[in-house]
Structure 1
Amino acid sequence: MGHRDVRTLPKAHLHLHFTGSMRHETLLELAARDGIVLPDGLAEDWPPQLSAADEKGWFRFQRLYDVARSVLRTHDDVRRLVLEAAQDDVADGGRWLEIQVDPSGYAGRFGGITAFTDLVLDCVRDAADRTGLGIAVVIAANRTRHPLDARTLARLAAQYADRGVIGFGLSNDERRGRTADFAPAFAIAERAGLLLAPHGGELRGPEHVATCLTQLRADRLGHGVRAAEDPELLARIVEAGVALEVCPVSNVALGVYSDLTSVPLPELIEAGATIALGADDPLLFGSRLAGQYATMRAAHDLDDATLAGLARSSFVASRAPAEVVARAMADIDAWLAAGPAMMPA
């Protein structure tokens, strides 16, 4: 029995970090240009062996991420990163991308958080025009920084709510800081009509998912996969229509699950959850958007109708314009109706 080509299945990509979207060859090229010596995990031993099971493991992950961020030196570097991320998503069947960025991580080199946000949005418009991919931005605060910094970023996101920013997030190690302390920042974003999409339910379990729902009023959860451990909580998520941005390859790379067959995607699907598969940080995990669908197909023996359901779900979870969603839904139906390609014997 053949399979349809997962790369031609229309998808929305809702969990992609800015620096983490960089192509590995671009990282190598920019580092060589400026004489930046990369750690082995970003050079000859790429993709790196990672784990976030303990603080040391997360520190190593964060260090690699910070080194990768440091190669972005010029406006053209940022423009290239966004364009290449868009091109890679289009090659994987992407129709809509919500890329997540923490402007404070780039503020020192690019003239402050407002100037950097302006630059990113300009690059997003350019990449969208050149590739045909719809792109929006989620501004994310860093939970290892002070909650007042998050409020500043929430106000920034609110200022751009009608200019390409559609959401507000909270990222980094979810075991750090007190989630409830970020509630005032999320209230600012909520008043501006922004999508609320904090990370939760990856490195911490269902109890933290519940905190994100009650304290941050999450519309969507970055990861959220460990809600599968609490059927009552999962039912609450489904009832509320809170979507889950599930990133299976990164879950395994960081040691949340031992292997891809352990990622509880079938349980989430069975419960009726709204799911959007995402690549998280392809630069560190070595797998892009279509790879998430391909690995889950292989790990759980998913049929093409189930993959099409996941793709539809990704658009339901998105803030894509109605016309983008309608066209994608029609094309997903056409993908399914076309029949599988026969594999050579």
Structure 2
Amino acid sequence: MAMPRPLHTLPKAHLHLHFTGSMRHSTLIELAREHGVHLPDALVEDWPPRLRATDERGWFRFQRLYDIARSVLRRPEDVYRLLREAAEDEAAEGSRWLEIQVDPSGYANRFGGLTNTLELVLDAAERAAKATGVGIAVIVAANRTKHPLDARTLARLAGQFAGRGVVGFGLSNDERRGRARDFDRAFRIAKRAGLLAVPHGGELAGPQSVAECIDDLGADRVGHGVRAAESERLMARLADRQICCEVCPTSNVGLGVADTVADVPLRRLFDAGVPIALGADDPLLFGARLLPQYELARDVYGFRDAEIAELARQSIRSSAAPDSLKLELLREIDRWLTAPVEEVEAPAAVCR
């Protein structure tokens, strides 16, 4: 029996990672101690917490834990540390390009307003990229539980930094509390600035949520999107237009979208021709980063090495990485797949 190829040496892109949720658990504990923040047991002894957000109470608990975690980021050096450590973790897992999603309004009061917050994040991302060789870009995300006017403000802000580290505009939080169509003007602003449209959809709401992201927001990618598997017609649309779904299996189980990992329709979407970028979503709350998602593809969904390589290719193609870097990484994926297993070494760092 052939030895499986090491997944940590497979070049890949990580396109679904939230800013606070990327924090190491050890860093959360340390910063909470430094800043005198009391953490509930769910973030300490009982970590990772047991979550199920398919009802309002469950989502409230998830959001409460997320807000507590966010509260430990109080100084600029905390932001620099978070992004440096996130980049180091990406590099260790073979991730060569990261698009990290942040809502600046969640930190604006702490760091001098929306613009100053975004500039801080972008500077921290640039330094982390230089230190680790992992390319890092930023997605500015609006909160669908807030007024659409807030989203338009963030879209204009994101547009000001298009080409300067910001590559996309997203829409996150509980999709049951804000229809995609309510945010269409914000996404038009972002599109005019040349940003990718990357809203969440098809997670806690059904396939219609994904369809609205496509039809009303002009989605280039859909965060999660797994509920699209409930509609053959919708999967065909995604495949025909090559709209990528950022599938996060561990998160889907953690939030109750699927009862077990085996129930996440990764194989169904892949076989239907829907491009997929595996993501970790919020490792701080779900306890698993990017590499375990690829391990699940092999161990649970039965993906062979050639199919795993194609998953990695799809993540690269669906990213906003420079074309030259995409070509280089695609060649390295081919080498990972064709070289003898013993010759597949850890990839060399690539600087942006």
- TM-score with structure 2 setting the length: 0.96
Task: Give the Cα–Cα distance (whole angstroms) in 1 for the partners of residues 84 and 151 of structure 2.
Answer: 27
Alignment partner of 2:142: what SS? strand
The one-letter code matched in structure 2 to 1:258 is D
Alignment partner of 2:177: what SS? coil
Unaligned runs of 5+ in 1: none
* Aligned equivalent of 1:202: 203
The one-letter code matched in structure 1 to 2:173 is N
The one-letter code matched in structure 2 to 1:203 is L
Q: Which moved more, 1:234-243 or 1:68-77?
A: 234-243
Which whole-Å deviations, capped at 9, do the CAs of 1:127-171 have from their partners, x for residues lacking one? 011000101000000011110000000000000001000000000
In the TM superposition, what are the counterparts of 1:136-155 in structure 2 within 5 Å? 136-155=137-156
The one-letter code matched in structure 2 to 1:261 is A
* Aligned equivalent of 2:262: 261
* Aligned equivalent of 2:174: 173
Offset of residue 172 of structure 1: 0.4
Task: Give the Cα–Cα distance (whole angstroms) in 1 for the partners of residues 285 and 76 of structure 2.
Answer: 23
* Aligned equivalent of 1:221: 222
In the TM superposition, what are the counterparts of 1:81-96 in structure 2 within 5 Å? 81-96=82-97
Cα 1:328–1:60 change in 2 (3 A) is same
Task: Give the Cα–Cα distance (whole angstroms) in 1 for the partners of residues 177 and 341 of structure 2.
Answer: 46
* Aligned equivalent of 2:161: 160
Which whole-Å deviations, capped at 9, do the CAs of 1:97-122 have from their partners, x for residues lacking one? 00000000000111001000000010
Task: Give the Cα–Cα distance (whole angstroms) in 1 for the partners of residues 256 and 6 of structure 2.
Answer: 29
* Aligned equivalent of 1:45: 46
* Aligned equivalent of 1:99: 100
Which whole-Å deviations, capped at 9, do the CAs of 1:219-239 have from their partners, x for residues lacking one? 110011110110001101111
* Aligned equivalent of 1:276: 277
Cα 1:157–1:41 change in 2 (3 A) is same
Offset of residue 179 of structure 1: 2.0
1:260·1:296 contact (CA, 8 Å) conserved in 2? no
Offset of residue 296 of structure 1: 2.1
Offset of residue 264 of structure 1: 0.8
Task: Give the Cα–Cα distance (whole angstroms) in 2 for the partners of residues 177 and 261 of structure 1.
Answer: 29
Unaligned runs of 5+ in 2: 343-352
Which whole-Å deviations, capped at 9, do the CAs of 1:249-290 have from their partners, x for residues lacking one? 100111111111111111111111111000000000000011
Q: CA RMSD in A?
A: 0.8
* Aligned equivalent of 1:25: 26
Offset of residue 340 of structure 1: 4.1
The one-letter code matched in structure 2 to 1:141 is A
Structure 1 residue 237 corresponds to structure 2 residue 238: yes
Task: Give the Cα–Cα distance (whole angstroms) in 1 for the partners of residues 327 and 124 of structure 2.
Answer: 26
* Aligned equivalent of 1:334: 335
Alignment partner of 2:300: what SS? helix
Spell out structure 1 runs of 4+ moving beyond 6 A.
none
Q: Which moved more, 1:13-22 or 1:208-217?
A: 208-217
Offset of residue 186 of structure 1: 0.4
- TM-score with structure 1 setting the length: 0.98
Which whole-Å deviations, capped at 9, do the CAs of 1:15-61 have from their partners, x for residues lacking one? 00000000000000000111211011110000000001100000000
Task: Give the Cα–Cα distance (whole angstroms) in 1 for the partners of residues 154 and 307 of structure 2.
Answer: 38
Query: How many correspondences in the alignment?
Result: 341
* Aligned equivalent of 2:346: none
Alignment partner of 1:98: what SS? strand
Alignment partner of 2:306: what SS? helix
Task: Give the Cα–Cα distance (whole angstroms) in 1 for the partners of residues 301 and 15 of structure 2.
Answer: 22
